[in-house]
Amino acid sequence: MKLWGGRFTKETNRLVHNFNASISFDQKFYRQDIRGSIAHVTMLAKQGIISETDRDTIIKGLESILSDIENGTLYFSPESEDIHSFIEQNLIERVGEAGKRLHTGRSRNDQVALDMKLYTRDELDEIDGLLKNLLTSILKVMEEHLETYMPGFTHLQKAQPITLAHHFGAYFEMFRRDRSRICDIRSRMNLCPLGSGALAGTTYPLDRDYTASLLEFDGPTLNSMDSVSDRDYLIELLSALSTIMMHLSRFSEEIIIWNSNEYRFVEIDDSYSTGSSIMPQKKNPDIAELVRGKTGRVYGALMSLLTTMKGIPLAYNKDMQEDKELSFDAIDTVKGCITLFTGMIDTMKFNSSVMETSAKNGFTNATDAADYLVNHGVPFRDAHGIVGQLVLFCIEKNISLDDMSLKEFQAISPVFEEDIYEAIRLKTCVEKRTTIGAPGKEAMSRVIENCKEYLNL
């Protein structure tokens, strides 16, 4: 049964029906569709456009549809074109005449615009909650590893010593920004399109402010053409989701490296690892790899929707139905990835002594040796050259700077004194870095306080 059969003399071709239909995926927002319809008829009755009796009959019918779907006694019929038709037809079957008044002053164009916004808004809230959990887990690691020294890298080469708290702190900032992007999108999109009709509003005396407030929007949208054809907020969403995935993917990549046999900085828990069908010794970081891999899907969704939208004249065109599968898949992917990633971090073991040894063996204190010379009056550029010679000497002898004798130091520069050992000690190198944002314990503790406050902990 079609909602629009009146003007037609022939049945729709079966392939055309299947190609056109969206019920197989837009059934995902049946709850939002029913919520929107209840708000719509509440407003229609308040405005005297339908009777209060019809309103009550319709709402009861919609509520019974909702509970039947949820308790599994009502199935979505592939004969329906979309979720909107399915619910309206079912309502008419249940309550008769009154049901036929539901769609007064409404089009599927403003209806689908509303449903997608309601759905997105709910999902944004969920994603925000998941990011908050992830941040809480990251913060826990930061608090426990303020003095876990490790090498910081540039070009994946050991650079300067940092702490695990500092490294995790970098990701805390990234996911904190991701949350603020989610929050921005939510507030910018929070205007209600219902009442825009097909494209040009309606002739009924709708109270759009009232509908908007019933659905917890900040107000109604201000141009009916834009309302039914705006998908900007989904593009913003997919962009924010892509950025979240980019962050998760970088973090995953680091964990994969850290978990490798060569590094052994961390050990992913058995419960978050998988084995090999042939090599009995293997324990693979598949979860981190999958998170890294799924990033491609989410980027793909963003590119797809941008491309879909680029040539569409105003107002509604069917192309826009393509927004759904892309967005649903990206949202579900991101929610799954954040959840799994958080669990992996919660159960991961950190090998502090391995990290510390690695920080000691890689000349990560070379900059500090140069700073020592600078503090004794040597110009930085000369100090850089002198320490370069020290490093060369150590590489030849296969030792670290700390292993050199004072005589050996002084043979390269007479400026070195006994206190050079204290100056290039791993702990000193980190703890001297006390400016805000640096890895020293003092600075990190201040940042941790800020993070706790931000999470209301």
Smallest separation (angstroms) from ligand ARG to the CB of 320: 5
Smallest separation (angstroms) from ligand ARG to the CB of 3: 10
Residue sitting closest to ligand ARG (CB): 321
Answer for which of 42, 190, 239, 321 binds ligand ARG (CB under 6 A) is 321
Smallest separation (angstroms) from ligand ARG to the CB of 22: 4
Kindly tell me which of 292 and 324 has the beta carbon lying closer to ligand ARG: 324
Q: What's phi and psi for 153, nearest 5 deg? A: -115, 150
Kindly tell me which of 160 and 327 has the beta carbon lying closer to ligand ARG: 327
Half-sphere exposure (Cβ direction) of 324: Cα atoms closer than 13 Å: 22
Answer for which of 82, 230, 254, 356 binds ligand ARG (CB under 6 A) is 82
Kindly name the residue from 17, 273, 276, 445 that is annotated as catalytic: 276
Smallest separation (angstroms) from ligand ARG to the CB of 314: 14
Taking a C-beta distance cutoff of 8 angstroms, is the pair 180, 195 a contact?
A: no
Q: Does 316 bind ligand ARG (CB under 6 A)?
A: yes
Answer for which of 22, 57, 196, 358 binds ligand ARG (CB under 6 A) is 22
Which of positions 99-128 make contact with ligand ARG (CB under 6 A)?
108-109, 112
Kindly tell me which of 231 and 441 has the beta carbon lying closer to ligand ARG: 231
Which of positions 126-185 make contact with ligand ARG (CB under 6 A)?
none
Q: Does 32 bind ligand ARG (CB under 6 A)?
A: no
Kindly tell me which of 113 and 359 has the beta carbon lying closer to ligand ARG: 113
Kindly tell me which of 183 and 199 has the beta carbon lying closer to ligand ARG: 199
Kindly tell me which of 33 and 371 has the beta carbon lying closer to ligand ARG: 33
Smallest separation (angstroms) from ligand ARG to the CB of 13: 17
Smallest separation (angstroms) from ligand ARG to the CB of 236: 19
Q: Does 305 bind ligand ARG (CB under 6 A)?
A: no
Kindly tell me which of 155 and 310 has the beta carbon lying closer to ligand ARG: 310
Smallest separation (angstroms) from ligand ARG to the CB of 112: 4
Whether residue 276 lies in the annotated active site: yes
CB atoms within 10 A of CB 273: 18
Answer for which of 69, 309, 320, 369 binds ligand ARG (CB under 6 A) is 320
Kindly tell me which of 83 and 451 has the beta carbon lying closer to ligand ARG: 83
Binding-site size, ligand ARG (CB under 6 A): 10
Q: Encode the chain in three state secondary structure.
A: CCCCHHHCCCCCCHHHHHHHCCHHHHHHHHHHHHHHHHHHHHHHHHCCCCCHHHHHHHHHHHHHHHHHHHCCCCCCCCCCCCHHHHHHHHHHHHHHHHHHHCCCCCCHHHHHHHHHHHHHHHHHHHHHHHHHHHHHHHHHHHHHCCCCEEEEEECCEEEEEEEHHHHHHHHHHHHHHHHHHHHHHHHHHCCECCCCCCCCCCCCCCCHHHHHHHCCCCCECCCHHHHHHCCHHHHHHHHHHHHHHHHHHHHHHHHHHHCCCCCCCEECCHHHCECCCCCCCCCECHHHHHHHHHHHHHHHHHHHHHHHHCCCCCCCCHHHHHHHHHHHHHHHHHHHHHHHHHHHHHHCEECHHHHHHHHHCCCCCHHHHHHHHHHCCCCHHHHHHHHHHHHHHHHHHCCCHHHCCHHHHHHHCCCCCCCHHHHCCHHHHHHCCCCCCCCCHHHHHHHHHHHHHHCCC
Q: What is the CA radius of gyration of the chain?
A: 31
Smallest separation (angstroms) from ligand ARG to the CB of 82: 4
| Terminal alpha carbon distance of the chain | 55
Kindly name the residue from 37, 155, 352, 384 that is annotated as catalytic: 155
Residues with catalytic roles: 155, 276
Residues near ligand ARG (CB under 6 A):
22, 26, 82, 108-109, 112, 316, 318, 320-321
